[in-house]
Structure 1
């Protein structure tokens, strides 16, 4: 990192390039990085040198090392391009919606091949207890949702929505979405994965986007990748 030049204009250009590569709006990127839209706008203006913590948050949200915002040497340029190409294969952009009432879960849930639960944004102990209870519900439903009656499913959804509303009272929303992942060698193996992520309430409480960095041997199916 010491051999790379750091400047505000390069950071701005790189931030815009990566954001558009993934098909993200500034609002999407703010959601993924845990920053405000105004902060993203300032970074992309190129008129302000971002704080190191801001760059760390951007890099973490996008699944890159912070060095992605530092100008590479000619020798490092090829490695940088390979990193970008790998990110397109390994990064899932997941639209999510908050669970506020039973039908927010009842109408969208199904049997998943797996469930991913992200509590990293939650700090308060009482809020963490609620996220644990919601997470327990999600894992307990594995294998029984499809064999349950409509009345039973509605009962489950109502219990989950009650916990989500209680969590909202503590300043957090339970966002629910799903994505697909494909085995890197066996291209016919595509799994549907449910995503539950707990996010602080923001200026808008509607649909948001999460970024999931897939581990080997998984990648984003080619048909689900952004068109660049």
Structure 2
């Protein structure tokens, strides 16, 4: 990309088009790319030529190669359109919110068909130990949540939220969300996946968004996909 011309207006249009294709706000894209909202605004203004590293972060956050911001020939545009159509089938935007008190977990947890944990943003060893403990709790609850009494569920939720608050004291929030995935060949097989993501505390610590790219043979359920 370093040797390619970076056209500020083209990049701005591409960024806005793909962001809106996935129904992302500028704040959502800032979350997924690790950039500031101000940076997204500058890119989409078309008045500034973004740095290559900024484009790499944007492309990663959107689930594409950095070449998505390069001007293309008609043949390349056709291939890119096909890639975007495939991305709509394989990419899901997941809203998550922090666990701080028992009801943050109690009211949202259920039996999941699968669990996804992401502690990639956690570096400190003591914080990683807590992320492992929270993940173990979630895994241990698999298969027993539905058969537990309301009182037992509340006890479990209190234990998990206490660990989450301890982790917050070390500078990280435990974000909880879920998404659905559909089997590519058996369209009736739709699974609910619980997701726990450990994120550094930010200026805004409410709802955050992450992008998950599904592996074969899974894709986003047809009714959940944004439209081109």
Q: TM-score band, normalised by the shorter chain?
A: over 0.9
Secondary structure at the counterpart of residue 48 of structure 2: coil
Q: How does 1:1-228 map to 2 (within 5 A)?
A: 5-228=5-228
Distance 1:2 1:201 in 2: 33
Report the alpha carbon displacement of residue 131 of structure 1 after superposing the two structures with TM. Answer: 0.9
Report the alpha carbon displacement of residue 3 of structure 1 after superposing the two structures with TM. Answer: 8.8
Distance 1:28 1:134 in 2: 25
Distance 2:217 2:4 in 1: 31
Distance 1:105 1:71 in 2: 46
Report the alpha carbon displacement of residue 52 of structure 1 after superposing the two structures with TM. Answer: 1.8
Asked if the contact 2:2/2:52 (under 8 Å) is kept, the reply is: no
1:126-159 alpha-carbon deviations (Å, 9 max, x no partner) = 2111111111111111111111111111111111
User: For residues 161 and 154 of structure 1, do their structure 2 counterparts lie closer, same or farther at Cα, with a shift above 3 Å needed?
Assistant: same
Secondary structure at the counterpart of residue 199 of structure 1: strand
Distance 1:122 1:66 in 2: 26
Distance 2:158 2:5 in 1: 54
1:176-196 alpha-carbon deviations (Å, 9 max, x no partner) = 111100001110110000011
- When the two structures are superposed, what TM-score results if normalisation uses the length of structure 1? 0.96
Report the alpha carbon displacement of residue 38 of structure 1 after superposing the two structures with TM. Answer: 0.8
Report the alpha carbon displacement of residue 74 of structure 1 after superposing the two structures with TM. Answer: 2.3
Distance 1:161 1:216 in 2: 34
Distance 1:203 1:182 in 2: 35
Secondary structure at the counterpart of residue 158 of structure 1: helix
Report the alpha carbon displacement of residue 75 of structure 1 after superposing the two structures with TM. Answer: 2.3
Number of aligned pairs?
Answer: 228
* Worse-matched range after superposition: 169-178 or 46-55: 46-55
Asked if the contact 2:98/2:175 (under 8 Å) is kept, the reply is: yes
Report the alpha carbon displacement of residue 6 of structure 1 after superposing the two structures with TM. Answer: 2.6
Asked if the contact 1:4/1:71 (under 8 Å) is kept, the reply is: no
Distance 1:82 1:183 in 2: 20
Stretches of 4+ aligned residues off by more than 2 angstroms: 1-6
Asked if the contact 1:182/1:189 (under 8 Å) is kept, the reply is: yes
- When the two structures are superposed, what TM-score results if normalisation uses the length of structure 2? 0.96
